[in-house]
Structure 1
């Protein structure tokens, strides 16, 4: 089947298209700045190749490399291996869990991995005009970057040629990435004695992301997504919550493959990878939508330091007051009496480390208008410039979404630029909930900023 790409002339576009394009291009600019020079590890199974999604994915990955991303690809080959086994007359088929690999199955693994590797190299070699691959000139480098060792005997079962990662040649990998090349890993590793071992793609991708201290680990999944009780996609989840979820995976009937992706994502984030994403490969452009849109299209696992983040209690009122008082004194915040903090303490979240409370934020919901007010976003000066403000903002956004709110607003006299940089736009008094409009202090003349969630 031949892939065709639909194109159109700018003369045929609707009148509003240029304005939409300019606005979109400006909106994605911050993402472009943050991704340059960062390392992304992308893992996908053989089902993506089998379903004909490879070319579309490679085109999107080509765009990321053009924007300065250092890209590592890790592919699996389970469906292709099973097909090889079937064609050779063997009844055995690999499932979704790690299983022993016989000598015959290992040969099938080699054949399947070699075929997919060539398909990937061919896809990156495209240079058709009017496609994302035009003038790309992307080099793909693969080799014996991973040293493997046998999985051994587990619970009395000899796993034979099934292996696990022992170490990586990090220096060679980083050198290839520095040249602008895409580094490609297949699910085969080699021991110092020259033996080949079958390694699970998920384990391989996670380990290389950890070893490279990657910015992102991305797993391309089928259409399975993590959803809440209302059927809505959970776009962001803390690692600690993933671990709790996996402990009840049987009750929640998580798909085995998806549960494995969650497990590996949690391990990667716990070991220093900043973000792990699980995104659907059957959605065209999903890897771009995940990165260049606010909520993305899959599930992102984050660490959230989040052992330090907790709801405030009445015992925390004194610490919250001590954080607020200096800002009330210089006019940054509206003066609040201690009794107000005590009354609304359940609306506060605090940052605490080793018993020291060094940040806070409050969320006042207005459910009728599906809006929430974020207030008292404070980080102690000794802890600033390390992302704690971003952490409190992200937490508040997540909390507001969980309450069904659609917009978050703030009133400020000193920090407007900070909020503008984080997606807030200036509003008017008339945009506020009716109750808040009545209580708005016109003498203070605070600026109003609103963010769509």
Structure 2
């Protein structure tokens, strides 16, 4: 089977899950100016063709700085917030308009030899953001710097329903008709919350957040974000992106992402693969362990069939899984995929049970998932007054020994299980005392 076929099969669950959902994408002025922006537009067009409802929010700080320099106007800030006087506002209007035209032009490409051929994306924008002035704070007049008062949710939803891509620029208007320079990260957060978006995706100069050793942090739960925000104090741009993700998830958005605008294909990798390309911020924690339900049968089959084909696990039919589904616990990834499972079969003596069908998805091995599942099942078994766990295995003897299991003989198995022992498989038998 070719890699191309495998890729399509692996991405199909994500395509089905994302279709019809609303994603808010936010990119800075630096991202628009980057050489990879053309590829990002191609990927946005692909998302649109897959039935994903898109709101694109753009910044223009890079373009504003260029115009201020050309006009010999000093850029002024207070606590990283731009002070937008009248002369600066003229540059802001010019920069935002130029950035917007660049984006619309890219989204309008349709040459026969282009990935955009046949895309026919309609871009909708306008006075969709009501703004209010930041005003005078601590004695500093911010002039034409403002903040978001309201997003026109109904107008945006109507355009999304009609198949358009909505483009939001970092300028809003007051009820008196005054334009204000806005923070694009704030617009992205407010739009994602107002629209009930499935995802907020922030494009950053970095691939995402890194730990103290420089390793990419693939996933953060909400309760881990405040400490991480403090650690990013020296990287204002990344800190702003993380804060936007945090505020979105705190207010109802299920998942937010930080990915690189410089990495070709980062958007598709993040949305359509298990590994992703950046940092995922989750509203409801990380992987969860729960009791399996009848709806998990398909996912369980997908998880255990490769191991059955290798002879590591005994084959189970769909019918058998449906009958025994209440015996299983599963580990569910944040994106919904089942990444691990294990089953517990109590014996009639009431104080012993068999641990069976311990499996981890190949893409998620060596992360301690099986150990967490085992610990959860041992806790559950102890609550049921089970004192001994038996396990039969042909391939994982060392792992079970590491977890406290010891070799036992066939004669030590409960009679009901001993009568079903498969002498052809020659499974080794292990036992662990829980109480």
TM-score by length of 2: 0.69
**Aligned residue in 2 for 1:157:** 140
Match status 1:98 vs 2:98: no
Map 1:10-409 onto structure 2 (within 5 A).
19-92=2-75, 97-223=80-206, 225-246=208-229, 248-249=230-231, 254-304=234-284, 375=342, 401=367
Deviation, 1:436, is 3.3
Deviation, 1:333, is 7.8
Q: Distance in 1 between matches of 2:10 and 2:212?
A: 32
Deviation, 1:179, is 1.1
Q: Distance in 1 between matches of 2:157 and 2:394?
A: 54
Q: Deviation per CA, 1:389-411, whole angstroms, max 9, x where unpaired?
A: xxxx99xx99963x6x799998x
Q: Deviation per CA, 1:204-230, whole angstroms, max 9, x where unpaired?
A: 111011000100101000025312244
Change (3 A) 1:70 1:433: farther
Deviation, 1:156, is 2.0
Change (3 A) 1:433 1:286: farther
**Aligned residue in 2 for 1:432:** 396
Q: Distance in 2 between matches of 1:217 and 1:47?
A: 19
Whether the 8 Å CA contact 1:138–1:182 is kept in 2: the answer is yes
Deviation, 1:29, is 0.4
Q: Distance in 2 between matches of 1:132 and 1:202?
A: 29
Q: Distance in 2 between matches of 1:332 and 1:83?
A: 62
Larger Rg: 2
Whether the 8 Å CA contact 1:54–1:120 is kept in 2: the answer is no
Q: Distance in 2 between matches of 1:38 and 1:155?
A: 42
- In structure 2, the residue corresponding to 1:143 is in which secondary structure? coil
Count of residues in correspondence between the two structures: 338
Deviation, 1:185, is 0.7
Whether the 8 Å CA contact 1:148–1:190 is kept in 2: the answer is yes
Q: Distance in 2 between matches of 1:26 and 1:409?
A: 27
Change (3 A) 1:65 1:94: farther
Q: Distance in 2 between matches of 1:59 and 1:73?
A: 14
Q: Deviation per CA, 1:57-99, whole angstroms, max 9, x where unpaired?
A: 1100000000000000110001111111111111326699222
Change (3 A) 1:398 1:239: farther
Change (3 A) 1:132 1:153: same
- In structure 2, the residue corresponding to 1:134 is in which secondary structure? coil
Q: Distance in 2 between matches of 1:435 and 1:166?
A: 57
Q: Distance in 2 between matches of 1:152 and 1:99?
A: 12
Q: Distance in 2 between matches of 1:273 and 1:444?
A: 50
Q: Distance in 2 between matches of 1:79 and 1:361?
A: 44
5+ residue gaps, structure 1? 1-17, 310-329, 336-358, 363-371, 378-392, 411-427, 447-453
Whether the 8 Å CA contact 1:224–1:258 is kept in 2: the answer is no
Change (3 A) 1:149 1:19: same
Q: Distance in 1 between matches of 2:250 and 2:279?
A: 16
Q: Distance in 2 between matches of 1:253 and 1:171?
A: 37
Change (3 A) 1:400 1:152: farther
Q: Distance in 2 between matches of 1:158 and 1:272?
A: 34
Deviation, 1:264, is 1.3
Change (3 A) 1:110 1:433: farther
**Aligned residue in 1 for 2:385:** none
RMSD, aligned CA? 3.7
Q: Distance in 1 between matches of 2:421 and 2:88?
A: 74
